[in-house]
Structure 1
Amino acid sequence: MKDKAFHINGETSENYKKIFIPINKNELTKSEKRGLRQINDAFSNDDLIIETYDHKLIVFLNKLDVNSLKDLIFQFVSEQVSEDNVLLALLTKIENIKSYTYQGGKKVFVNFNDERKVKDRKAKETQRGKFFYAQDADFKVTNNAVPKEYENQIICADSEQLLSKMPENCIDLVFTSPPYNFGLEYDNHQDAMNWSIYFDKLYRILDECIRVTKYGGRIIVNVQPLFSDYIPIHHFISNFFIKKKLIWKAEILWEKNNYNCKYTAWGSWKSPSNPYMKYTWEFLEVFCKGTMKKQGKKENIDISAEEFKEWVYGKWSIAPEKNMKNYKHPSMFPEELARRVMKLFSYQGDIILDPFVGSGTTPVVAHQNNRRFLGIDISREYCELARKRIDQQDC
């Protein structure tokens, strides 16, 4: 086996996680030796270094595409492999490491908390004024139950009017994606209105969403800017929430991998005169009402450790919805997007509101994941479709 340990240059303790795997036999098999050589050749010194010494494997681990390692190992492992196979032991040892983060599709096992190593960090946060813009918010802290007539319902109505009838502080999570005013063909909605009219109406609905959201609840809006009009809708919405004293929690990039738009040459071709930028992602703006901490029972948490570690990395690569024609709706987010939002930001049993429910993805996913829901849309056709999708879950 090629020995690469000499290239570590004394920086092992800082740049690598060191693990040991015992070799419980007199000699490695030819397959094990070939496999270890292949692993050392396949991964760079910056990622992984393996050496053998005194009946053990010594593994110097920095960052790693674990799936690639698994694929490589199983080229050298047969169904009849013995239990003491060092390649399987290596894979099991690495997969059982629980402390890591994700970066560029790799698990990073060392130095991923360096950004937190600030002296007197808490004191400095206090000195700076943590979310100073929301410190004087006067939200009521007493939460209310949602009335039974709104629980697990899809209601055809104007969201502004319907929400105004509901008690304050009764919704755990608002997750929605309003029409973007792109000019798409919605049922019962004109999608190319004057921007002032668009934002006036949107803000009135979001105002009601703030009012009905519980103290400690979250509001998450999925939106894409209209680049041709140079309208950064995500910034308009974020500024609105900040002015309303909500706490900015996060901005998540939903990478849709729409590569067909990457090489479109709009604007000034090969000139700095006026180049037109193209994007393959949308935004999720995440805000909290009153406090960053949401109360809930431990037994109602349903996110796994692996999901948590992957999803707190604020770039989610999820393919766009492919069934929009089947649902006769021009703009839908995929169920996976809603699933991640709900499991990361809410508890089982919470009630989820979507005031622009469209074809019903939010309530469908809420139903699948043991959450209650309230969906509102001005289109009777979309509401009927949403109800049918939910009914199909119970079949």
Structure 2
Amino acid sequence: MRQLAEIKAELGTPYYESEDVLLYQGDCTALMERLSQPSFDLTMTSPPYNIGKEYERVLPLADYVAWCGKWMSRIYDLTLPSGSFWLNVGYVSVADRGKAVPLPYLLWDQSPFYLLQEVVWNYGAGVASRKSFSPRNEKLLWYVRDPEGYYFDLDPVRDPDVKYPNQKKNGKLKCNPLGKNPSDVWQIPKVTSGTNRASRERTPHPAQFPSALVERVIKSSSPIGGLVLDPFVGSGTTCVVARQHKRVSVGFDLRSDYLDLAITRLEASEQQLF
């Protein structure tokens, strides 16, 4: 496809290539610096949270925020005028100030993007707590380049669970026949691990987000045939879901073992589609 051919011309030989996906191994900021023009309809990603996971090097908090600002700003430069950037982030400890400070408080203004909305992702499983309420949510920040001209299609993600679907006023249905707006609180199960409770889509990646979360973003915030970026692609969920819904995608990751996971999932999804 033309979009991917232009990306490949600037980035060179990918780690993995198909007609609708390019995966590259390397630092996302360095790779994005090699791209010369806005190309992406949507970026959907979840970066390291700076909390000591196996795939990250913990930085002083100020350095972490500055690092995020750098790659977030580069995403802005590469986003089309009608495009969006969805950022999934959790919580971080701030010395002497807070045990679990939401990363959106620290990152929301670290790029030229316009912050359109915060969405709360509420999930059922998580860490238990005795001295506080058990954490059961993360945030998604929805950024756009142009607050007056961004792409958004609500219909593909409407919630069909309407209490009174046939209620009418003056002879007309009061609600959309496709369903209601799902609101800014999304109740989507987490990808769980464990012998008896592991999610079907679970991979060895330690911080995999669920396909249903990505699906809602991709279907509402990018057109069919659009180009989607995930600069921290991990196990490849963004690229797999993009393929399933007829988008093309580009993913970056530092680790070859995670890219290999993504490739395995992409090849499985290709078999299911064709």
Taking structure 1 as the reference length, the TM-score comes to 0.54
Aligned residues of 2:42 and 2:227 also touching (Cα < 8 A):
yes
What SS does structure 1 have at the residue aligned with 2:110?
helix
Q: State the shift of 1:384 in Å.
A: 1.4
Which residue, 215, 222, 226 being the options, matches 1:339? 215
Q: Which amino acid aligns with 1:393?
A: S
Aligned residues of 1:302 and 1:343 also touching (Cα < 8 A):
no
Q: Which amino acid aligns with 1:222?
A: N
Work out the percentage of aligned pairs sharing the same amino acid.
Answer: 25
Q: Which amino acid aligns with 2:238?
A: T
Aligned residues of 2:81 and 2:146 also touching (Cα < 8 A):
yes
Establish whether residue 286 from structure 1 lines up as the match of residue 142 from structure 2: yes
- Residues 14-58 of structure 1 deviation map (CA, whole Å, 9 limit, x = unaligned): xxxxxxxxxxxxxxxxxxxxxxxxxxxxxxxxxxxxxxxxxxxxx
- Residues 279-327 of structure 1 deviation map (CA, whole Å, 9 limit, x = unaligned): 311101001002343359x9xx971654674454111101101359852
Summarize the Cα distance change of 1:392–1:311 in structure 2 as closer, same or farther, 3 Å threshold: farther
Query: How far apart, CA to CA, are the structure 2 residues paired with 1:223 and 1:252?
Result: 11
Establish whether residue 313 from structure 1 lines up as the match of residue 183 from structure 2: yes
2:108 aligns with 238
Aligned residues of 2:3 and 2:227 also touching (Cα < 8 A):
no
CA RMSD of the aligned region, Å?
Answer: 2.6
Which residue, 230, 238, 254 being the options, matches 1:362? 238
Query: How far apart, CA to CA, are the structure 1 residues paired with 2:28 and 2:7?
Result: 18
What SS does structure 2 have at the residue aligned with 1:166?
coil
Query: How far apart, CA to CA, are the structure 2 residues paired with 1:217 and 1:156?
Result: 25
Q: Which amino acid aligns with 1:218?
A: S
Summarize the Cα distance change of 1:237–1:309 in structure 2 as closer, same or farther, 3 Å threshold: farther
Query: How far apart, CA to CA, are the structure 1 residues paired with 2:181 and 2:193?
Result: 24
Structure with larger RCO (C-alpha < 8 A, sep 6+): 2
Number of aligned residue pairs: 232
Structure that is richer in strand per residue: 2
Q: Which amino acid aligns with 1:161?
A: A
**Map 1:14-93 → 2, pairs under 5 A:** none
Q: Which amino acid aligns with 1:200?
A: A
- Residues 317-352 of structure 1 deviation map (CA, whole Å, 9 limit, x = unaligned): 011013598522111110000001111111111111
1:93 aligns with none
Higher Rg of the two aligned structures: 1
Summarize the Cα distance change of 1:377–1:287 in structure 2 as closer, same or farther, 3 Å threshold: same
Q: State the shift of 1:193 in Å.
A: 2.4
Structure that is richer in helix per residue: 1
Q: Unaligned 5+ residue runs, structure 1? A: 1-143, 267-275
- Which segments of structure 1 move beyond 6 Å, counting only runs of 4 or more? none
Q: Which amino acid aligns with 1:248?
A: L
Aligned residues of 2:229 and 2:249 also touching (Cα < 8 A):
yes
Taking structure 2 as the reference length, the TM-score comes to 0.76
Q: State the shift of 1:199 in Å.
A: 1.8
